[in-house]
Amino acid sequence: MSDFSFWIILQNLLLATRWTILLSLIAFVSGGIVGLLVLLARVSHGRVLRILSLGYIEVFQGTPLLMQLFLFFFGVALFGIEVSPWVAAWLALTLWTSAFLAEIWRGCVESIPKGQWEASESLALSYGEQMRHVILPQALRIAVAPTVGFSVQVVKGTALASIIGFVELTKAGTMLNNVTFRPFLVYTLVALIYFALCFPLSWYSKRLEGRLNVAR
């Protein structure tokens, strides 16, 4: 009934995996940039900035990523602006990632001992100089492991983009299943590919964590 051999299925899935990887990378990088800005607002001395950034984080952490995708894809279209699945997925994942990264990094900044702030303050450094030269370099070191760990969530999060029609790994799986009617084979392969993407990341994250503990 089907001319789709195992190898053709696998080949098509792997081709679609490129889009999963690309979307993950782009969302992670742009989410990291936005996340850094949100972090700076979150730990700043300005009350308004702190409240706004807290609200931002709560909204994106407190609603399903799927809803955020829908809002970008369908919601924006209501205003007459055509949004491609690509752009909607990119925007939603970026904002979602930035909220989580900002919160992870805030924990890292706050784990820097108070004495570091006091010592640099006593040396007449301004708040910005303290951040740039004393606090962030130390927080960055602590942040590497949980950040790499979170990248796994981003990779898995891209699967939701399939629902708004973005053809990545999950969507390709669905399409292949529709023509081959071999769901077990197709989705097992899909799962294995996701695992192959995520496992090295979480493994690397654990390794970094271990190395950091030894260094301290």
Q: Which residues bind another protein (CB under 8 A)?
A: 113, 115-116, 118-126, 129, 133-134, 137-138, 141
Instruction: Reduce the DSSP state of residue 4 to 3 states and report it.
Output: coil
Q: At closest approach, how far in Å is the CB of 110 from another protein?
A: 17
Q: Which CB sits closer to another protein, 58 or 118?
A: 118
Q: Collect contacts of 8-15 with beta carbons under 8 A, ≥24 apart.
A: 9/176, 9/180, 9/182, 9/185, 9/186, 9/189, 10/189, 12/172, 12/176, 13/169, 13/172, 13/173, 13/176, 13/186, 13/189, 13/190, 13/193, 14/193, 15/172
Report the distance separating Cα 175 and Cα 216, nearest Å.
Answer: 50
The CB density around residue 157, as the number of other CB atoms within 10 Å, is 22
Element (H, E) at 167: none
The label of the residue with tokens 């702190």 reads 50
Of residues 116 and 188, the one with the C-beta less far from another protein: 116
Minimum Å gap between C-beta 94 and another protein is 30
User: Smaller CB distance to another protein: residue 25 or 112?
Assistant: 112
Could you count the other beta carbons within 10 Å of the beta carbon of residue 200? 12
For 53, residues 6+ apart whose C-beta sits below 8 A from its C-beta are: 38, 39, 41, 42, 102
Q: Rank residues 12 and 44 by Cβ distance to another protein and give the closer one.
A: 44
- For another protein, the closer of residues 16 and 143 by Cβ is 143
Q: Based on CB atoms, which residue is closest to another protein, 62 or 113?
A: 113
Token reading at 209: 């964590």
Determine the Cα–Cα distance for residues 163 and 167; give it in Å rounded to an integer: 9
